[in-house]
Amino acid sequence: VTINLYPLAKSILFKLEAERAHHLGLTMLKAAHTLHMSPLIFGKPVHAPVKVMGIEFPNPVGLAAGLDKNGDYYAGLSACGFGFVEIGTVTPRPQPGNPQPRLFRLPAANAIINRMGFNNLGVDYLIKNVEQTKFEGVLGINIGKNFDTPVENATADYLIGLNKVYPHADYVTVNISSPNTPGLRDLQFGEALDKLLAALKREQAKLADVHGRYVPLAVKIAPDMDDVALRQLADSFVAKKIDAVIATNTTLSRKGVEGMPHANEQGGLSGEPLRHRADYVVSVLSLHLQGALPVIAAGGINSAADALHKLQAGASLVQIYSGFIYQGPKLVQDCARALSTVSSTAA
């Protein structure tokens, strides 16, 4: 039996400016983990194993990228019951990101708008953290490009990231869908996409040889494109033998938050208002891919039923960010329990 302490923690955290709350919340989780309190507070993680991308996941509910950009907190985060955690986005060189404020809560919609802009301490710092962290779970590392690297040279940044994180990751996510790095989303289309994917696959083959281990590559996409573009993207992933697609990143749309405080802040919108669009993207991809590669679904999961919908839309795994901020660790356990009944009946 566990007591849900999150409503209390949230009542304190939500009184603070969003980015300060972010750091305090993560520090509290880390402290709980260091003191071996996590199992007492959060209960035992749900055991509902699934195999995706050749990896055995203890349960299909993951932490989405961007909450732990530098890998400072992921062991403590994982202890909330996640079946996997994705750290990053990390860039080759450290960069400060956009000026603050750059993170906004829209509590009336269980939503967040952010324009962080890949604030991170650089890939070498992240790797040092991973080397020093005792962790048995599944770890994804999400890579991006520095804001001042011209988009024409983006491939070079992704190759640096891939080379450095490869020996430390269970899977690597290529983020070409953040709305807060100018030009980044252009990499999702046409020749730029094909060149990037080809270069990454060549490097992955080399690295698999060098390290004697194949580390799968996932590509994370935006929700803001039409069905034709989505299917073209899916075809490119199949042709290039990409190992998984993560759908989706935040949206530029403001549907569902019109007129609310902060709704007109620049950046990507996440949380509940994103859910329907993200579900739709997952179903278009899944129908088109027919299992050729797995879909990892993110966007607006705020209840166990929302997570179930993602699986019904065709996803193999799910990821949560905003829902975790609004509902806390209980949401992770609820989702994992709900999905465990489905995946066991489906198997």
Ligand X SMILES: Cc1cc2nc3c(=O)[nH]c(=O)nc-3n(C[C@H](O)[C@H](O)[C@H](O)COP(=O)(O)O)c2cc1C
Residues forming the site for ligand X (CB under 6 A): 64-66, 69, 89, 103, 112, 114, 116, 142, 175, 178, 220, 249-250, 270-271, 274, 298-301, 320-323
Residue nearest to ligand X (CB): 66
Give every CB contact of residue 321 below 8 A, 6+ residues apart in sequence.
63, 64, 65, 66, 67, 112, 270, 298
Choose between 222 and 293: whose C-beta lies nearer to ligand X.
222
Choose between 40 and 108: whose C-beta lies nearer to ligand X.
108
CB 62 within 8 A of CB 296: yes
> Least Å distance between CB 277 and ligand X?
10
**CA atoms in the 13 A half-sphere facing the CB of 277:** 23
> Least Å distance between CB 199 and ligand X?
20
Which neighbouring-strand residues pair with 175?
220
What amino acid positions are annotated as catalytic residues?
178
> Least Å distance between CB 63 and ligand X?
9
In 3-state terms, what secondary structure has residue 176?
A: coil
Choose between 10 and 39: whose C-beta lies nearer to ligand X.
10
Using CB atoms within 10 Å of the CB of residue 87, give its burial: 0 to 12 exposed, 13 to 18 middle, 19+ buried: buried
- Give the single-character DSSP code of 186: G
CB 62 within 8 A of CB 78: no
Give every CB contact of residue 131 below 8 A, 6+ residues apart in sequence.
168
Q: How far is CA 185 from the centre of its chain?
A: 16
Among 224, 18, 26, smallest CA distance to 112 is for 18
Side chain identity, residue 60: P
Choose between 90 and 239: whose C-beta lies nearer to ligand X.
90
> Least Å distance between CB 345 and ligand X?
25
> Least Å distance between CB 324 and ligand X?
7
Reported in sequence order, the residue ranges of the chain that DSSP labels E, i.e. its strands, are: 50-52, 55-57, 61-63, 84-90, 103-106, 111-114, 138-143, 171-175, 217-221, 244-247, 268-271, 295-298, 317-320
Choose between 35 and 265: whose C-beta lies nearer to ligand X.
265
> Least Å distance between CB 47 and ligand X?
23
Choose between 64 and 284: whose C-beta lies nearer to ligand X.
64
